[in-house]
Amino acid sequence: MALEHAILVSLLEQPGSGYELSRRFERSIGHFWTATHQQIYRVLRRMEHEGRLAVRTVPQHGRPDKNEYSVTASGRTALAHWLHEPIEPESLRHDLAVKIRGAAFDEPAALIDEVARHHRAHHERLARYLAGELRDFTGPDAPTPLDPGRELQHVVLRGGIAFERMTIAWLDDVLATLHRLSAASDTAPPARDEG
Amino acid sequence: MALEHAILVSLLEQPGSGYELSRRFERSIGHFWTATHQQIYRVLRRMEHEGRLAVRTVPQHGRPDKNEYSVTASGRTALAHWLHEPIEPESLRHDLAVKIRGAAFDEPAALIDEVARHHRAHHERLARYLAGELRDFTGPDAPTPLDPGRELQHVVLRGGIAFERMTIAWLDDVLATLHRLSAASDTAPPARDEG
DNA sequence: TGCATCATGTAATCAGTTACATGATTTT
DNA sequence: AAAATCATGTAACTGATTACATGATGCA
């Protein structure tokens, strides 16, 4: 399970509280791993208990105290160990693909709006990623000498961008297919009586 | 949760036993949803209990009996209902991306073999998908008049193909980046003493 | 004789989601 | 006065994985 490791990576990049981590999981880390705050708090406590993390209460002015976590030597070792362990290439889990195959047993046209909505969502995500890339890596305000850590962050972000672009192109294909099928069911042999 | 719905789709395409389903989940359905046999058997029993599926014991010659499941009217309704419900566009969960960012806190070169292994695995998967496409959809032996169901299966498979191609291209990018970084750490400022 | 395939399951555990809860401060 | 943000949690549940278990047939 990688949530634990994603947390180690994020806290090595920058120590922070559970709340801050859950923010990060909505942004950068969240590009390839999601987690809710409940899950994060639970795992943080467990990892602190196991000695992978150290916690320190930071008083703040006009805000509740926060528990700032950082990675211990033991946590670093655990991460290094995991990095050297082979993992299985993962397969995606794509609800939408299930729906598309399911549409054969319903009215394909009914899926068009849903697919179009996903198309828009991926467009928005792509725009956000591209803005982030410009801001942090390729834009004029980005720190010029990229250290290894930032190079690696960038290549991961490029993966996210490639994924969104591929998805958008595929959803275009899906939409064209659905339109074709619903046009065919309007003219040719009427399979049902709603045509 | 889509396992339930993936099972409905698969059983509508063709009734079958838990064992047969778990085979299918290693192949076609498995392109976008995975499940182990334990999970499948459990969900099958639950769905039968809820009236979504009907079960029938099929005696076989020289083999154990099998429980063949098929979708009931209620199951069909449940699927149709789900098809009309909007779902959230999903974000991927990519362990390898976590590892890549984690490599900043270890030796980037150590990841090269792992990434190369994933690269090969995705190549093999792509080859399998392309062979399947030729066999079932675009080859000379494929049934020529594609019905809506097969059109939809094909567009989903094209999604799988696009995903694998995108992933392979990205892993090339990752490998190039890792090589660049390990070459840099060999020549320029030695960050550690293993140079 | 031993291994692979067909066929189905239990038990334990781990991971992830949803709902609910609290309480301060800051902004509208 | 109400809503949003910061900050942390409990409880219940659902979903998924891992390990273990059984037993037949067919093939080498």
Looking at CA atoms only, how far is residue A62 from chain B in angstroms?
34
B67 and B105 assigned to the same domain: no
Answer with the one of B56, B83, B110 that is the final residue of a domain. B83
Distance CA B183, CA B195 (A): 10
Region B187-193: mean pLDDT is: 53
B160 in the same domain as B99: yes
What pLDDT, on a 0 to 100 scale, did the predictor assign at position B187? 66
Both A100 and A77 in a single domain?
A: no
What are the contacts of B173-177 at 24+ separation with CB within 8 A?
Answer: B173/A155, B173/A158, B173/A159, B174/A155, B174/A159, B174/B100, B174/B115, B175/B112, B175/B115, B175/B116, B175/B119, B177/A151, B177/A152, B177/A155
Using a pLDDT cut of 70, give the percent of chain B over it.
94
Identify the pLDDT of residue B193.
46
Are residues A13 and A71 located together in one domain of the fold? yes
Does the pLDDT value for residue B148 go beyond 70?
Answer: yes
- Is B195 a member of any domain? no
> Is there a domain that residue B12 lies in?
yes
Q: Are residues A78 and A147 in the same domain?
A: no
pLDDT value, residue A185 = 73
B104 lies in the same domain as B75: no
Per-residue pLDDT of chain A in tens (195 residues, 90 and over written 9): 689 999 999 999 999 999 999 999 988 888 889 899 999 999 999 999 999 999 999 888 777 789 999 999 999 999 999 999 999 887 778 999 999 999 999 999 989 999 999 999 999 999 999 999 999 999 988 887 779 999 999 999 999 999 999 999 999 999 999 999 998 776 655 444 443
Contact criterion met (CB below 8 Å) for A106 and B79: yes
B183 in contact with chain A, both atoms CB, cutoff 8 A? no
Nearest neighbour of B173 by CB, restricted to A83, A155, A181: A155
Is B193 within a domain? no
Cα-to-chain-centroid distance, residue B163: 11
Whether residues A37 and A10 fall in one domain? yes
Q: Note whether B111 and B40 are same-domain residues.
A: no
Establish if A89 belongs to a structural domain. no
Asked if the structure places residue B103 within a domain, the reply is yes
Query: How would you class A121 by CB atoms within 10 Å of its CB: exposed for 0-12, middle for 13-18, buried for 19 or more?
Result: middle
- The answer as to whether B88 is a domain residue is no
Residues A60 and A114 in one domain: no
Q: Are residues B148 and A2, on separate chains, in Cβ contact within 8 Å? A: no
Q: Is B194 a member of any domain?
A: no
A83 reaches B (C-beta below 8 A): yes
Residues 6+ apart with CB under 8 A from B124: none
- Top residue of B9, B85, B98 to mutate, by most chain A CBs within 10 Å, is B98
Where is the domain boundary, A56, A83, A110? A83
pLDDT value at B146 more than 80? no
Number of domains in chain A: 2
- Regarding pTM above 0.85, the answer is yes
Q: Are B144 and B166 within one domain?
A: yes
Range of the domain at A53: 3-83
Q: β-pairing, A63-71 with B53-60? A: unpaired
B91 reaches A (C-beta below 8 A) = yes
Tell me the CATH number at B29.
1.10.10.10
B96 in reach of chain A (CB within 8 A) = yes
Q: Which residue is nearest to nucleotide D26 (CA to C1')?
A: B62
In angstroms, the CA A29 to CA A112 distance is 31
Residue that terminates a domain, selected from A42, A59, A83: A83
Contact of B12 with chain A, judged by CB distance below 8 Å, is answered with: yes
Q: Is the pLDDT of residue B177 over 50?
A: yes
Chain A nearest-CA distance from B64, in A, is 31
Which residues pair with residue B58 across a beta bridge? B66
Clarify whether residues A104 and A171 are in a common domain: yes
Contacts of A79 in chain B (CB under 8 A): 102, 105-106
Choose the mutation target among A98, A133, A180 for the interface with B, i.e. most B CBs under 10 Å: A98
State residue A77's pLDDT score: 95
Q: Is residue A26 part of a domain?
A: yes
- pLDDT tens-digit map of B6-53: 999 999 999 999 999 999 998 888 888 889 999 999 999 999 999 999
Determine the pLDDT at residue A194: 43
**Same-domain pairing of A70 and A121:** no
Nucleotide nearest to B37 (CA to C1'): C8
Q: Which residue is nearest to nucleotide D23 (CA to C1')?
A: B64
List the 117-176 stretch of B: residues with Cβ below 8 A of A: 117-118, 121-122, 125, 148-149, 151-153, 155-156, 158-159, 162-163, 165-166, 169-170, 173-174
Residues in chain B with CB shorter than 8 Å from the CB of A111 are 83
